[in-house]
Amino acid sequence: MAESVYDKALDKIKNTKRGSLFFVENFAAIGGGIKSINKALERLVLSGELYRVAAGIYVRPKKDKFIGVVLPSVDEIANAIAKRDKARIVPTGSYALYKLGLTTQVPLNIVYYTDSSPREIKVGNQKIALKKASAKMLSANGEVSKLAIQALRSIGKDKVQEDEIEKIKELLKKETDYNLKNDRLVAPDWIRNLIFTKPEKPNE
Is the domain of 86 the same as that of 121?
yes
The domain containing residue 101 runs over which residues? Answer: 74-195
Question: Which CATH number goes with the domain that contains 63?
Answer: 1.10.10
Query: Worst-scoring range by mean pLDDT, 40-44, 65-69, 73-77?
Result: 65-69
Mean pLDDT of the chain: 92
pLDDT at 124: 85
Is the domain of 81 the same as that of 176?
yes
| 42 belongs to a structural domain | yes
Pick the residue with more confidence: 71 or 128? 128
How many separate domains does the chain show? Answer: 2
Is the domain of 99 the same as that of 186?
yes
27 pLDDT above the threshold of 60 = yes
Is the domain of 137 the same as that of 88?
yes
| 200 belongs to a structural domain | no
pLDDT at 198: 58
- Identify each DSSP E strand in 20-97 by its residue range: 21-23, 51-54, 57-59, 62-64, 68-70, 89-92
Is the domain of 78 the same as that of 162?
yes
Local confidence band at 202 (pLDDT 50, 70, 90 cut-offs):
very low
pLDDT at 180: 95
1 pLDDT above the threshold of 60 = no
Is the domain of 16 the same as that of 56?
yes
| 90 belongs to a structural domain | yes
| 204 belongs to a structural domain | no
In the chain, the percentage of residues whose pLDDT exceeds 70 is 96
Q: Answer whether 125's CB lies under 8 Å from 150's CB.
A: no
| 98 belongs to a structural domain | yes
82 pLDDT above the threshold of 50 = yes
pLDDT at 2: 52
User: Tell me, what DSSP letter sits at residue 187?
Assistant: S
Is the domain of 102 the same as that of 185?
yes
Mean pLDDT of 176-190: 95
Could you read off the pLDDT of 86-133 as tens digits, one per residue? 999 999 999 999 999 999 998 999 999 999 999 999 998 899 999 999
Is the domain of 123 the same as that of 180?
yes
| 5 belongs to a structural domain | no
Q: How far apart are CA 12 and CA 152, in angstroms?
A: 43
pLDDT at 97: 97
Mean pLDDT of 155-178: 95
Pick the residue with more confidence: 203 or 167? 167
Which has the closest alpha carbon to 153: 75, 82, 95?
Answer: 95
Which has the closest alpha carbon to 192: 174, 176, 168, 161?
Answer: 168
Q: 3-class DSSP state for residue 162?
A: helix
pLDDT at 67: 87
Is the domain of 59 the same as that of 82?
no
Dihedral angle at the C-alpha atoms of 44, 86, 129, 117, nearest 10 degrees? -110
Q: How far apart are CA 47 and CA 106, in angstroms?
A: 32
| 49 belongs to a structural domain | yes
Is the domain of 23 the same as that of 104?
no
The pTM (predicted TM-score) of the whole model is 0.86
pLDDT at 201: 42
Pick the residue with more confidence: 199 or 97? 97
Is the domain of 126 the same as that of 78?
yes
Q: How far apart are CA 135 and CA 145, in angstroms?
A: 16
